[in-house]
C-alpha cells in the first residue's frame, strides 16, 4: 500500500514536471513576438524590414549600424501626438471600466435577488449581447452615435457600457449565486435601504470579481481600435491604436521603427496592470462562471 502511494506521488511529480516544461515553452512562444517588437523598436527602418529577427549583441559589427537608440520613440511621439492620445485612451478606459463595474454589479445583484420575469429577461438580453457579432451593428451604431452626439470621449463610455455589460453581468451574477443573502437581510432589518445595503454589504463581497472583470474590460477597451474609429470625431480625438495608424505614409509606406516604438509604449501600461493583478483573474473568472 505504501509502495503504491509513493509510486502515485512520483508519477504525479513527473507529470507536473512535464506539464511545467510544456507550458513554459508555450509561454516563451507567446513572449517571443513581444521581445522581437521591443528589439525592433530600437532598429533603423531598413534593418527592420531586412532582418526583423536578428538580435545582435553589443560589440558585434552590426550593432552600431543597425540600432538608432531612442530616435524611433522620439519620432513616433512627435508624429502621433502620443501624449494626447495616451490621455484620451486613459480617460476612456478608466471611465468605461468604472461605469461598467458599477452598473453591471448593481444589475447582477437585482437579477439574483429579485426573481421575476423582468430580471430573467434582463439577464437573457445581457447574455444575448455576447452572441451578437459587432459587425452586425457597427454601421447602425455609428449613425446613432453621431445623431446622439456620442462621438466624444465621454459619449463613447455609454457605448462601451452596452458592449461590456454582457460579460460583466454574467460574471457578477455567477458570483452572486454563491453569496449568502442572510447578511443583506440582517442589514435591511437594521434599517439599511437597498442602496446602502449594496455599497456597505454587497460591494465588498464582490471585490474578487470586481478586480478580474476590471482587468478583462480594461485590456479590451485599451486595445480597441474599431469602435473608437467608428464613433469618435477623429479630427479632435484619437486613442493610441488610432494614432499609431497615422505613421503610415503615402503609397503604403510605413515608418516601422516609430510604429514598433509606439506599440511598445502602448502595451506597457496594460502589461503592468495585468502583472499586478493577474492573481485575481483566474479566481474571479471561476467564481463568476461556476455556481457555488
CB atoms within 10 A of CB 23: 10
- Residue 244 to residue 76: CA distance in whole angstroms: 8
Residue where a domain terminates, one of 43, 66, 89 = 66
Report residue 156 as a C-alpha cell: 463613447
User: Does a structural domain hold residue 170?
Assistant: yes
User: Does a structural domain hold residue 201?
Assistant: yes
pLDDT at 260: 87
- Of the pLDDT bands very low, low, confident and very high (cuts 50, 70, 90), residue 291 is very low
Do 48 and 212 meet the contact criterion of CB atoms below 8 Å apart? no
Residue where a domain terminates, one of 45, 66, 87 = 66
- Residue 2 to residue 276: CA distance in whole angstroms: 43
DSSP single-letter state for residue 116: S
Residue pLDDT, tens place only, 75-115: 888 888 888 999 999 999 999 999 999 999 999 988 888 88
175 and 282 inside one domain: yes
pTM score > 0.85 for this model? no
Do 174 and 289 meet the contact criterion of CB atoms below 8 Å apart? yes
Average pLDDT rounded to a whole number, residues 244-273: 80
**What distance separates the 2 farthest-apart alpha carbons in the chain?**
78
Domain that includes residue 227, residue range? 77-289
Q: Does the pLDDT of residue 256 top 70, yes or no?
A: yes
43 and 127 inside one domain: no
DSSP single-letter state for residue 56: P
Structural domains in the chain (count): 2
Residue where a domain terminates, one of 66, 94, 119 = 66
Q: Does the pLDDT of residue 160 top 90, yes or no?
A: yes
47 and 89 inside one domain: no
176 and 276 inside one domain: yes
User: Does a structural domain hold residue 171?
Assistant: yes
CATH code of 274's domain = 1.10.3720.10
User: Does a structural domain hold residue 71?
Assistant: no
Q: Does the pLDDT of residue 122 top 50, yes or no?
A: yes
- Alpha-carbon radius of gyration of the chain: 24
101 and 17 inside one domain: no
Residue pLDDT, tens place only, 192-249: 888 888 888 888 888 888 888 898 899 899 999 889 988 888 888 899 988 888 777 6
Residues 6+ apart with CB under 8 A from 234: 242
User: Does a structural domain hold residue 195?
Assistant: yes
141 and 269 inside one domain: yes
Task: Please provide the distance, in angstroms rounded to a whole number, between the alpha carbons at the two ends of the chain.
Answer: 36
User: Does a structural domain hold residue 29?
Assistant: yes
122 and 230 inside one domain: yes
Q: Does the pLDDT of residue 292 top 60, yes or no?
A: no
83 and 54 inside one domain: no
58 and 82 inside one domain: no
User: Does a structural domain hold residue 72?
Assistant: no
98 and 178 inside one domain: yes
236 and 155 inside one domain: yes
- Residue 197 to residue 181: CA distance in whole angstroms: 11
28 and 165 inside one domain: no
User: Does a structural domain hold residue 215?
Assistant: yes
CA angle 38, 43, 47 (to 5 degrees): 120
Do 208 and 176 meet the contact criterion of CB atoms below 8 Å apart? no
Amino acid at each position: 500500500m505504501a509502495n503504491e502511494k509513493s509510486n502515485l506521488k512520483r508519477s504525479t511529480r513527473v507529470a507536473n514536471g512535464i506539464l511545467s516544461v510544456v507550458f513554459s515553452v508555450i509561454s516563451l512562444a507567446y513572449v517571443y513576438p513581444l521581445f522581437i517588437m521591443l528589439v525592433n523598436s530600437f532598429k533603423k527602418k531598413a534593418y527592420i524590414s531586412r532582418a526583423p529577427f536578428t538580435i545582435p549583441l553589443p560589440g558585434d559589427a552590426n550593432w552600431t549600424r543597425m540600432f538608432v537608440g531612442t530616435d524611433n520613440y522620439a519620432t513616433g511621439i512627435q508624429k502621433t501626438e502620443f501624449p494626447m492620445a495616451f490621455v484620451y485612451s486613459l480617460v476612456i478606459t478608466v471611465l468605461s471600466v468604472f461605469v461598467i463595474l458599477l452598473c453591471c454589479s448593481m444589475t447582477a445583484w437585482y437579477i439574483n435577488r429579485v426573481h421575476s420575469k423582468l430580471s430573467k429577461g434582463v439577464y437573457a438580453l445581457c447574455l444575448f449581447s455576447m452572441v451578437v457579432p459587432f459587425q452586425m451593428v457597427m454601421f447602425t451604431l455609428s449613425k446613432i452615435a453621431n445623431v446622439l452626439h456620442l462621438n466624444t470621449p465621454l459619449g463613447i463610455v455609454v457605448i462601451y457600457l452596452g458592449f461590456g455589460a454582457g460579460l460583466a453581468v454574467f460574471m457578477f451574477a455567477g458570483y452572486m449565486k454563491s453569496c449568502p443573502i442572510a447578511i443583506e437581510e440582517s442589514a435591511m432589518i437594521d434599517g439599511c435601504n437597498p442602496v446602502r445595503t449594496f455599497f456597505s454589504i454587497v460591494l465588498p463581497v464582490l471585490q474578487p470579481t470586481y478586480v478580474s472583470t476590471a482587468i478583462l474590460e480594461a485590456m479590451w477597451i485599451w486595445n480597441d481600435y474599431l469602435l473608437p474609429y467608428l464613433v469618435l470625431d477623429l479630427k479632435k480625438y484619437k486613442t493610441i491604436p488610432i494614432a499609431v495608424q497615422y505613421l503610415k505614409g503615402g503609397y503604403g509606406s510605413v515608418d516601422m521603427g516609430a510604429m514598433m516604438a509606439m506599440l511598445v509604449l502602448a502595451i506597457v501600461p496594460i502589461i503592468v496592470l495585468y502583472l499586478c493583478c493577474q492573481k485575481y483573474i483566474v479566481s474571479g473568472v471561476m467564481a463568476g462562471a461556476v455556481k457555488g
